[in-house]
A and B are shown apart, each in its own frame.
Chain A
Amino acid sequence: MLQKNARSFLRLLKSDNLKNMDKRIIISVQDITKTYDLGEVKVKALKGVSLDINRGDFLCITGRNGSGKSTFLHQLGLLDLPSSGKIYLNDQEVTNMSEKKRSNLRLTYLGYIFQEYALVPELTALENVMLPSMMQNSIGISREKAKELLSKVGLEGKENHLPNQCSGGEQQKIAIARALVNDPDILFADEPTASLDSSVSRDILSIFKKLNKEDGHTVIMITHEEEETKYANRIIELRDGKIV
């Protein structure tokens, strides 16, 4: 029943009605706040952030450490819930959804790339990438898709390597391929080049640019590096939990 509901929701997200929307807003954030309760201390990480992100945007989120960038991205990527406010994906409110429905959205509609890759250490590059696809497809289809994506990010021949047998850049590419395997509409990347050297970083950013320009993925990326913002068509800066 839950699966059926999630499928209906996804159909709605990709329906023609939505395509007819004027501005084609893919994410709408309305006055969200996030407060962390650390016992006696309450930390306000987000203080009423509102933002509309259009389909096809390459949005860079910048700001100093502690400005609330990652917290903001976690809310958009459905990895966390805001303390107040609402988030809409294709006009559907997601902040009041059950964890199961949000889990289905993360699987099929969103792709998330972590700063520290977050790969499953016991799975090879190929298996890490095919895992999300296996939730919807047969092992054979998932394997083919995974191989194709690994090739696309330049990891042909590394399919059977375990994460600890790969460099940081290679691991990040595996994470990108994994995020892409279910053909998500939106890609989230949390400082994807923070642990990488500059040449590998450029390589990774080129992949994002290509995914945005050629494949039409909406990319939302956090970065510290001003240099990297040149890949984006839109930049926002967070300071003290607010967009400035």
Chain B
Amino acid sequence: MIEVIDIHKQYGDVVALNKVSLSVKKGELFGLIGPDGAGKTSLMRILMSLLLPDSGSATMNGLDVVKDYKKVRLTTGYMPGRFSLYPDLTVEENLKFFATVFGTTIQENYYLIKDIYQQIEPFKTRRAGKLSGGMKQKLALSCALIHKPEILILDEPTTGVDAVSRKEFWEMLKRLKDMGITILVSTPYMDEASLCDRIALVQQGNLMSVATPLAMENSFAEDLWQIRTRKIYNTSKLLEKLPKIISVNSFGQVLHLVTPKGFYQSDKIHEFLSQNGEIEISVEPAKATIEDVFILLMNDHKAKS
């Protein structure tokens, strides 16, 4: 449904996208996972025909994003990272405007947005600029859907949104996917990766890895230990001195220690810590999360460049 072939984009010396290739299947919920500046927005803007690539090509549902850009725009819904509706128009006026621009009416495709729009309908006479963050997001999604697009492109829809609203938003995306809409969504929150069918980990213009969230977690090639301690910061500083260590990072109330495959047993690590005066600790093998994979790939990437 979305094909990206060797797309390259540079701003002066800064490489935003480094010969990126990617394929998103019809009906897939695909996530671009990476921090600010990874190149996610550049890729989405190229797909939406808002930015020209330096080289490479991309098609959306078979339409070339450069040559057939007008058709691409008609069949795609886009929610940019920044709130881009008209703040002086009311909720209802914004929705009506976008429906009219695309030659349709609110009634015609109401079934698509019903679940989402009903939550903001009580405020339909309020100006869009006066809405709360969560409501703006719901209105923007409604406007992106009103022309019944085949593909939906969402640029960081959950950034700066609280944990509860984020959960609700992903539930909405799941329902849209079930209606057959192909969705490309970007996020800096690693914990949202598991909600996608497939994900790409993006860093400094490169796709470091593309797979299902589960395959990605299973691809973790080193040993990972979960360490519980009373003094996260102290224990972490101490572990940095562990011979052959790859990394140690805090994950909420525990530490994740990465060591080369097969190099340590848990009692050896425990011994190292207790010899250095750490008591009341536990060391257990753990399963990698997407964030662990991302950190490992980032370290590999740094070592290579």
Q: Do A and B come from one complex?
A: no
Binding site for A on B (CB under 8 A): none
